[in-house]
Structure 1
């Protein structure tokens, strides 16, 4: 038996893999949103500080910053802030002496804070710049306030927010995984208990499983119960067949033994020849019975329909009739074959050997049980709709309606004749294995048996005309 991935592992994969993918997408979105949020917050802080410094420069005449602005600079998150202030005449007033240079392609505006990115001492920084008209000591001109901060602080802040979100999602995945694991164990417990109950059964216990199981598993249990029932019936049938076969073989074997002893102890050569002839007939009867037993078992084993082939039913039945013409003539019986489907081929899916033997058994049955008044046997093939039929009729003593069921049973004997009692049982089982039926058709005089089989569709490999 090839083992596949366990049901528990499949459920874990089906549930957790989509959850992990969604978590990764959510984490990426959270990092992007955190970066956007941090940029907005830090940019607003830079703009606020730039406006505050510009106001203090105007108020103090460029000498110093107010305590409130200095406190704001110290309380700002994300690392240190740097600033630089130029007076109206371009003279450095306060702050750091060398501010980051504005990009060449950046368009400067006045009276409005502008933001851009630059490089300061080898590191990326975010810069806020404000140029506005001021007057110091009678000198008027544009004063420029530049405030900048390292970009690393922003990235660290965004990464911190993303890591917190990832931690929450990771805990959620672990929690869901644990819940799923224990939930699956609880859900699979009925299956495990069912497996244990079946494993503890003895090989001979084919009784119905009555354990309560979930609805999802009830179908499997029903199939198992059906299988157990079929196996149980097959075993009972096989045991009954073996018992019947042993009973049927006991008398012929005992007869052969007694005839052999009589032939050995015959007082004269003529008597020995007579006893030997009876011994040969008894051995022939036993051989026929054995062959019928083997045939019955073989036809019951035709469950594999893949080995069936398309057969022309008319040719098959005609061939059986040809082989029996001489035999029927020796018994004073005329054998006739009629093809009622001459206008079209009659194709059926069948085991050629067993179907041929079924027709042979019907002819043997007519010869053996129709009685001395029978003078003819008619064999015909016909097609009606989707079914083809083979009919074997005799004109002998006939078969009463209340005798049909007995005639179809295994070892069924109606007149205590020399037959094995398996002929019609083999025909019936052969018809069933081929998807058809065997029926006894009331006729006067004689008896008529018909095998009905489904007609096979056209062979795709046959050339079309």
Structure 2
């Protein structure tokens, strides 16, 4: 038995895998959004600090920053803020001595705040540069405020937001995995209930499963019930076949035993020779019945494609007719075979097809009666099928007698046959996806075996 792992585990993986992938995508998106949000928030904070510094420089005429502005610079959420202020004519006013350098694009409004990235003391920083018209004492001119922050401080803030979101999603995924794992187990409970119900059955109990199950399991239960029905039918048919076979073999065996006892008690050579002939005939009949029973049992086995081969049906008919023709002609019966010269290809088992043809001919001989004088075999094609018709001018057989004629161990009238010949023919036809039928004729019997051609 091939194992494919736990169904519970497979469902768990199928459900959780897309959710984990979605969580990864959402995490990446959340990190990107956090960085963008931090950039906007810190740029606004940097701009607020720059405006406050510019105001204080103008108010104090470059002397000092107010405590409020210093507190804003010190407590900025984006980390430490550095600044540099120059007055009219580029005179240094306050702040750090050497600000990050920038190049102002030509044509750009110098009074428009500018944000850019630069390197300050070997660290990447985000810089704000803004210029305003101010009056410092008796000087009137442009004052430039440059403020900057370390980008690492901003990234740390963005990472903290992302980590918090990741922890939240991890908790949600862990909770969902827990719910899915035990939820799938509960959802699969009906399958385990069916298993328990089947385990409690005895080997002889093949009745239908009537336990209520979810809609998704209806197909499985329906298939199991159909399989149980097929197995039960097969077992019953096999038991009936064994019973009938035992009954049919009992008579030939008893006849052989009786002939052997009669041979032992024979008084004269003439009587002994007569008993020997009867014993040989009884042994042949017993062997024929046994062979036919074995053929029926083999035909009951399922058909495998590798047992079928592409064969010329015309050669099969020739072989069977050549073997049976000797026996038919020896009885003084005319025997005629008509078939086309071209090949007739069919897919089948040559042994079974040969046996079916021989049984059709043997049936004509055994059941033709005293009026039988002629047997004919005709082979023809209609484009998609090949038809083999065996006809005789004997006692006769009508389509209304088909059910009895093709049943096992059934005979329309007493003969030395076993009642298995036409049953074997019917089984061979079914195995080869063909049909066998009794034709309506004015005199005698006519049976046609139809098989599909291999085109």
TM-score by length of 1: 0.91
| Residue 435 (structure 2) aligned to one of 434, 437, 443 | 437
2:158 maps to which residue?
A: 158
Pick one of 353, 356, 359 that aligns with 1:355: 353
Unaligned runs of 5+ in 1: 458-465
Match of 1:425 among 418, 423, 440: 423
Structure 1 Cα separation of the partners of residues 208 and 131 of structure 2 = 94
Residue 31 (structure 2) pairs with residue 31 (structure 1): yes
CA distance in 2: counterparts of 1:111 and 1:329, whole angstroms: 126
Tell me which residue corresponds to 1:307: 307
Per the normalisation by structure 2, the TM-score is 0.93
Decide whether aligned partners of structure 1 residues 302 and 337 sit closer, same or farther in structure 2, where only a CA change above 3 A counts. Answer: farther
Look up the match of 1:17.
17
Contact 1:83 1:99 in 2 (8 A): no
Question: Cα gap change, 1:351/1:57 in structure 2, threshold over 3 Å: closer, same or farther?
Answer: same
Query: Secondary structure of 1:213's partner?
Result: coil
Structure 2 distance, partners of 1:421, 1:390, is 21
Distance 1:406 1:132 in 2: 117
Judge conservation of contact 1:100–1:119 (CA < 8 Å) in 2.
no
- Which residue does the alignment assign to 1:81? 81
Q: Give 3-state SS (helix, strand or coil) of 2:101's partner.
A: coil
The SS at the match of 1:78 is: coil
User: Is the Cα–Cα contact under 8 Å of residues 398 and 438 in structure 2 kept in the other structure?
Assistant: no
Q: 1:49-64 counterparts in 2 under 5 A?
A: 49-64=49-64
| Secondary structure in structure 2 of the residue aligned to 1:418 | coil
CA distance in 2, matches of 1:256, 1:270: 19
Equivalent residue number for residue 450 of structure 1: 448
Q: Count how many residue pairs are aligned between Structure 1 and Structure 2.
A: 454
Give CA deviations for 1:298-326 in whole Å, capped at 9, x if unaligned. Answer: 22225224321222222321332222222
Q: Is the 8 A contact 1:100 1:118 kept in 2?
A: no
Equivalent-residue separation in structure 2 for 1:280 and 1:393 (angstroms) = 30
- Distance across 1 between alignment mates of 2:391 and 2:112: 116
C-alpha separation in 2, matches of 1:274 and 1:425: 33
Match of 2:335 in 1: 335
Partner of 1:398: 396
Moved more, 372-381 or 276-285: 276-285
SS in 2 for 1:164: helix
Matches for 1:84-123 after TM superposition, within 5 Å: 84-88=84-88, 90-96=90-96, 98-103=97-102, 110-123=110-123
Closer/same/farther in 2, CA of residues 414 and 136 from structure 1, 3 Å limit: closer
Residues 1:345 and 1:118: Cα distance change in structure 2 (over 3 Å): same
Q: Which moved more, 1:362-371 or 1:123-132?
A: 123-132
Q: Distance in 2 between matches of 1:405 and 1:142?
A: 118
SS in 1 for 2:88: coil
Q: 1:89·1:139 contact (CA, 8 Å) conserved in 2? A: no
Q: Does 1:237 align with 2:237?
A: yes
Aligned 1:228-267 pairs, distance under 5 A = 228-267=228-267
Distance 1:450 1:287 in 2: 27
Is structure 2 residue 6 aligned with structure 1 residue 6?
yes
Mapped contact 1:109–1:131 kept (Cα < 8 A) = no
In structure 2, the residue corresponding to 1:144 is in which secondary structure? Answer: strand
Whole-angstrom CA distance in 2 between matches of 1:223 and 1:110: 83
Q: CA deviation at 1:429?
A: 1.0
Query: SS at the partner of 1:444?
Result: coil
Q: Distance in 2 between matches of 1:33 and 1:237?
A: 74
- Alignment partners' CA distance in 1, 2:324 and 2:115: 111
- 3-state SS of paired residue (2:370): coil
Q: Any conservation in 1 of the 2:79–2:154 contact (CA below 8 Å)?
A: no
Q: SS of the residue aligned with 2:116?
A: strand
| Equivalent in the alignment of 1:412 | 410
SS at match of 2:454: coil
Instruction: Confirm whether residue 381 of structure 1 aligns to residue 376 of structure 2.
Output: no
Contact 1:333 1:377 in 2 (8 A): yes
CA distance in 2, matches of 1:254, 1:132: 130
Q: CA RMSD in A?
A: 2.3
Distance 1:39 1:261, change over 3 A: same
CA distance in structure 2 between the partners assigned to 1:136 and 1:324 by the alignment: 134
1:24/1:395 CA distance change after superposition, 3 Å: same
**For the residues of structure 2 that align with 1:177 and 1:228, how far apart are their CA atoms?**
38
Distance in structure 2 (CA, Å) of the matches to 1:385 and 1:216:
46
